[in-house]
């Protein structure tokens, strides 16, 4: 009969002593401490809709866009009046100076021109609105980045649809508007 020799437990010699445990704990704190402190931070919020509607820069952008819209609507109105005159049968002057009734082709051409003009104006206004918004957003981002760094914010949210509640201490909207208004 063969005898099996039982192996000695390995854990006997690997048990940490209390000083070694303390040393491991200190090392863990030193290594993980900065990571844990970085994980904690201040989270702020800004309401971009309020910034656009209440800041001087946002109000100016809205006024500029409204002015451009009024100018383009005048052009569109003149085109609409010309189309209405053609459709109502008002004779249109021809190159030799005598009035002639508008043909169906001329009315269709004017209608196409008017629709094309309306589409171009809408695209122009959309692009102009985006350009003005980009200028405002660039200013807001610059102010917000400086403010967040100065006040120690780790994260600043700009999407009001994501936020359910914000403590007033972390809402930076009023301060951003104040700084924007001072700079402009």
Dihedral sign for Cα 98, 102, 105, 106, please.
Answer: positive
Q: Quick check: is 16 in a domain?
A: no
Strands 92-93 and 99-100: antiparallel
6 found inside a domain? no
Mean pLDDT to the nearest integer, 27-38: 54
Average pLDDT, the chain: 81
Residue 113 belongs to domain with CATH number: 3.30.910.20
Helix axes 56-87, 104-151, angle to 10 degrees: 170
Q: Is position 145 within any domain?
A: yes
Q: Is residue 24 part of a domain?
A: no
- Tell whether 5 is covered by a domain: no
Distance CA 55, CA 62 (A): 11
Residues 83-114 have pLDDT tens digits of 888 888 755 556 665 555 667 888 888 899 99
Look at residue 96 and tell me if it is in a domain: yes
Closest alpha carbon to 180 in 55, 61, 52, 60 = 55
pTM passes above 0.75: no
Q: Ramachandran region of residue 89, left (φ > 0), alpha (ψ -120 to 50) or beta?
A: left
The span from the CA of 47 to the CA of 174, in Å, is 9
Does some domain include residue 153?
yes
Question: What is the extent of the structural domain holding 65?
Answer: 42-183
Domains identified in the chain, total number: 1
Digit-coded pLDDT (tens) for 42-65: 899 999 999 999 999 999 999 999
Does 5 have pLDDT greater than 70? no
Evaluate whether residue 18 is within a structural domain: no
């Amino acid at each position: 009969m063969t005898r099996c020799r039982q192996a000695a437990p390995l854990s006997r010699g690997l048990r940490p002593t209390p000083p070694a445990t303390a040393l491991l704990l200190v090392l863990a704190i030193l290594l993980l401490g900065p990571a844990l402190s970085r994980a904690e931070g201040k989270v702020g919020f800004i309401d971009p809709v309020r910034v656009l509607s209440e800041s001087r820069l946002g109000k100016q952008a809205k006024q500029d866009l409204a002015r451009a819209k009024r100018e383009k609507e005048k052009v569109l109105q003149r085109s609409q009046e010309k189309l209405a005159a053609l459709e109502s049968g008002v004779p249109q002057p021809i190159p030799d100076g005598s009035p002639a009734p508008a043909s169906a082709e001329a009315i269709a051409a004017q209608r196409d021109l008017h629709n094309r003009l309306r589409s171009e104006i809408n695209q122009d206004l959309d692009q102009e609105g985006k350009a003005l918004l980009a200028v405002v957003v660039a200013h807001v981002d610059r102010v917000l980045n400086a403010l967040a760094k100065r006040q120690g914010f780790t994260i600043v949210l700009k999407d009001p649809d994501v936020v359910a509640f914000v403590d007033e201490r972390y809402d930076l909207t009023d301060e951003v508007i104040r700084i924007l208004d001072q700079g402009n």
